Structure 1
């Protein structure tokens, strides 16, 4: 999924505006002029650059041009975002795995098996996320509120 129009459709204008404003504020705090920060963030978000669009509660899927042998993880769920990276949980591995996804049937290399911790997650730099994955779904916190519209379900929340 790419572009600001797709992101607007995915999460709505208010949630996307809040996200972009937060990225602009990060750049301004780091010393970038406000107008330049706005341009940089909106251009990067429109190009689907991970540093600009990565956020908590997103699902990223492995890009079709990435070799499964090089990247055995098919999907990632973003648990947390920082200024320099995201913390993710592995969702799907290419081969069947046991209950913890790090057992005998997991195809993660043994040295990486401990990283598949769904409680604490794994730190992923934005560059690695962007190289191997693309944004598939984003659940902004606004969609969890009982008064928020839920377009996919066709309801408006509690009490409808």
Structure 2
């Protein structure tokens, strides 16, 4: 099977300080073999910035190439944010500073995802493929204890409404 030109996780991980803005979500190790810094045998240069911005920049490069080919394509974009430890970049955290550092970082990460989705929607319109595109936004899991699941039963790692829904 030929190797895909779609970016692997290693392409989309922002390099930064450990647990700092642009941190690696999963470091390269035996438990995370996809995060090896290579794609199709070529070393991938690190990209700096908020992880949602870095991820969307790589995804939009790929989507632009696919759109130029005038063939149907599928792009699956999994945002690593929001995810603990919550450390947003200053520009995303600043509007939420009045809520305290922890919430400012959490809300800042959400703002990064929101900004990325806005970039995606704009790019689809600019590429004139928005009318033939389907966007499906979902979460990989519900809230982890002690976070809220919005009153839904269960939570992360549970196959219940609170474990699979975005509260």
| Length-normalised TM-score, structure 1 | 0.26
| Length-normalised TM-score, structure 2 | 0.25
Higher RCO by CA contacts (8 Å cutoff, separation 6 or greater): 1
